[in-house]
Amino acid sequence: MINVKGLCKQFDGFQALNNLNVNVEQGSIYGLIGVNGSGKTTLIRHLTGVLKPDSGSVQMDGQDVYDNVELKKRLGYIPDELFFFGSYSLKSMRDFYKGIYPNWDDVRYEMMLQDFALPERGKIAKFSKGMQKQAQFILTMSCKPDFLILDEPIDGLDPIVRKKVWKYVVDDVAERQMTVLVSSHNLKEMEGICDAIGILSKGEMKIEQDLDELKSDIHKVQAAFHSAEDAERAFAGLNVVHREKSGSIEHLIIRGAREDVEKAVYAADPIIFDILPLSLEEVFIFEMGGENDDIQSILA
């Protein structure tokens, strides 16, 4: 498990993280999302032991991460900005990683090298960005980490390679109970692979919830009624997050149980009624207060 409790961090008087709590269950994939400047990178630097908390704790399997060499041998990290030694090839990096990580698996390395069709002896510094990311992925997954931290892991990868990457991750979660935290702006792909979601805002956790529960608690509703009075009666007792009207059609975002929404609307005898769960992208927009600017395309 990954547990962050009461984490606080300041930089020159700026509160980057404020009493932050994060809980990632063992053998699960946790999606961390937030706008730029929300604190995602600062959190990841704590999770990887680069930064020391001002207060609070960052633990994996009940052990503090910072200054814990043995725990870091069980931790894999793929950053958004990659770094490789200038003259090193994949073969050289393999030897380097093999000397550090006790769970290094040569068989997996050779299999992944063939699967991704990367040259083993060419200088990694001369690879394209996409090839470098694949190289880092091969090296990291060949370490067979118990904990995996991913920062924009599929940025710059083509669809075929992205599918391969996620397959390796999902298979290791299922087979070895690897615990994964992934930060990405690609919410459509996050929706397809994550078990739980944390929405970070201004250094604080705005929402942390199982993904299915998160999506089932908020709905997109389209309805039309015989009169304005019927419409008001239908929605009076509901938690309406957003509402607008286009012609005779009401467009709403409503939080609450689907059964409660259906019961209230049907009681007002609608002419038209349709209810759908929101996508993760739509949930994120509303939770971050972006509906006034961005929601027109969603509701269209």
Q: How far is CA 19 from CA 1, 81, 202, 246, in A?
A: 19, 27, 11, 42
Give the tens place of pLDDT for each residue, 10-65: 999 999 999 999 999 999 999 999 998 899 999 999 999 999 999 999 999 999 99
Please give the pLDDT value at position 50. Answer: 96
Kindly report the CATH number that applies to the domain delimited by 217-299.
3.30.70
Give the tens place of pLDDT for each residue, 151-162: 999 888 999 999
Please give the pLDDT value at position 287. Answer: 78
Please give the pLDDT value at position 290. Answer: 58
If phi over 0 gives left and psi between -120 and 50 gives alpha, with beta otherwise, what is residue 109?
alpha
Distance CA 247, CA 222 (A): 12
- Which residues have CB under 8 Å from 145's CB, separation 6+? 74, 75, 76, 101, 103, 178
| CATH number of this structure's domain 2-213, picked from the four choices 3.40.50.720, 3.40.50.300, 3.30.110.60, 3.40.50.620 | 3.40.50.300
Q: pTM to 2 decimals? A: 0.87
Distance CA 182, CA 179 (A): 10
Below-50 pLDDT ranges, the chain: 292-300
- Which residues have CB under 8 Å from 38's CB, separation 6+? 200, 201, 202, 203
Enumerate the domain spans of the chain: 2-213, 217-299
Please give the pLDDT value at position 298. Answer: 33
Beta-strand relationship, 196-201 and 29-33: parallel
What is the longest distance spanned by two Cα atoms in the chain? 74
Distance of CA 83 to the CA centre of its chain: 23
